[in-house]
Amino acid sequence: MQKRIDSPIPTLFDAMEHDGFAFVTADVMQPLLQASGELSDWNAFTASWSQLGPDPYLAATGRQRRRRHATYAATAHGKVELAPHQPHYQSLQYNRLQGDIERWFEPVEPDVANGASLRTILAFCNGFFSSLAPGIATWHVEVHQFRIEASSTEAGEPTPEGSHRDGVDFVLVLLIDRHNIASGTTTIHAPDGKPLGDFTLTHPFDSALIHDPRVFHGVTPVTPLVAGEPAHRDVLVVTFHAKP
């Protein structure tokens, strides 16, 4: 089942409230972002994915993952401020491979963390997620730049932990680029394992919006279309979690 959103915010609200997720195509998402701010540094923003460091915490699987990380504090419908660099933490309940440890990743580069494109994406998320949860006054926000690499001998694993929840309130997954890869299909499941939908982020700005407490999500491994040539999937993941 592929869920396509062809109209703006009210339909997205309905999809999130009814299904717990929405697939947003680039032709819808890009104008929504532009209504929230500028994307004037988009080329430099996307180029920064070539400067990601390796993920040192993956052992037997997923060594093809590169990433950077940043944390923000947000006031609902208000300011989103960059916070001091800090570790990413998930409990074993939400991450059976790397749970219950503080994971330190290289920080998002300052020009990216404070740049127009990321600020615009965060402004959209703040407005959209705050409208879905009007009782939340402040948010803990995390930003993850991911590059998943694949080779002819080893598939790239966007979610080596399998279908999972992140332990937050809301998630945005925004496709930045995919080069010479097949698959990478996002799957959505109910907590009891029932499939709820699947879709593939194919074009830059294609996005998934997820209400994390309600549904599980995962991404199938990616493989090269042409063996021996570079192959990668680049995404930005933004999570919003209510501050206590």
At 4, list the tokens.
Answer: 């396509």
At 141, list the tokens.
Answer: 């926000």
Distance CA 139, CA 168 (A): 10
CB contact at 8 A, 28 and 118: no
Q: Which residues of the chain have pLDDT under 50?
A: 1-7, 60-62, 91, 94, 99-100
pLDDT at 54: 84
The dihedral region occupied by 89, where left means phi > 0, alpha psi between -120 and 50, and beta the remainder, is: beta
At 223, list the tokens.
Answer: 């493989």
Residue count of the chain, please give it: 244
CB contact at 8 A, 177 and 152: no
Distance CA 218, CA 131 (A): 26
pLDDT at 138: 98
Instruction: Record the pTM.
Output: 0.90
CB contact at 8 A, 146 and 174: no
Distance CA 51, CA 18 (A): 39
At 121, list the tokens.
Answer: 């994406």
Longest Cα separation, the chain: 51
Q: Supply the DSSP symbol for 122.
A: H
Distance CA 109, CA 45 (A): 10
Closest CA to 66 of 218, 207, 230, 197: 230
Tell me the average pLDDT of the chain: 89
pLDDT at 158: 78
CB contact at 8 A, 138 and 76: yes
Distance CA 169, CA 210 (A): 8
Q: Which residues, at least 6 apart from 70, have a Cβ–Cβ distance to it below 8 Å? A: 82, 85, 107, 108, 113, 142, 143
CATH code 2.60.120.620 for 9-55+62-242:
yes
Q: For the segment 21-31, what is each residue's pLDDT rounded down to a tens digit?
A: 999 999 999 99
pLDDT at 4: 36
pLDDT at 161: 74
Closest CA to 221 of 49, 64, 103: 64
pLDDT at 56: 75
Q: For the segment 32-80, what is each residue's pLDDT rounded down to a tens digit?
A: 999 999 999 999 999 999 999 888 766 544 458 899 999 999 999 999 9
